Amino acid sequence: MGTVRTLGLATAVKGTPTPAVLAAAYYTSSNLATPGVVIPAVSFTIKRNIASIFLTAATLPTIGYNGPNGYIPIPTASPATATQSQNAVAGQPFNIFGGTAPGSGNSANGQKVCLWGFTTATYFNGKVVTVLDNNPVTGEFRFFFKHADVANTADTGNTAPCPAQHYRAIRLECSQSLGTDLIYVGDLNVSSSQYSACLSLTGQLAIEIVGENIPPESICIDTSGTSSNDAVMVSVIY
Q: How many whole angstroms separate alpha carbon 188 and alpha carbon 141? A: 21
Nearest to 199, CA basis, from 8, 59, 12: 12
For the domain made up of 39-66+110-161, give the CATH fold: Elongation Factor Tu (Ef-tu); domain 3 (2.40.30)
Radius of gyration over every alpha carbon of the chain, rounded to an integer in angstroms: 19
Domain ranges of the chain: 4-25+165-237, 39-66+110-161
Position 27 pLDDT exceeds 90: no
Model confidence over 124-179: pLDDT tens digits?
Answer: 998 999 998 888 778 889 999 999 999 999 998 999 888 888 899 999 999 999 99
Per-residue pLDDT band for 109 (boundaries 50, 70, 90) equals: low
Rounded (10°) CA dihedral 168, 188, 148, 38: -60
pTM of the entire predicted model: 0.76
What was the pLDDT predicted at 56?
74
Model confidence over 55-71: pLDDT tens digits?
Answer: 876 777 766 687 775 55
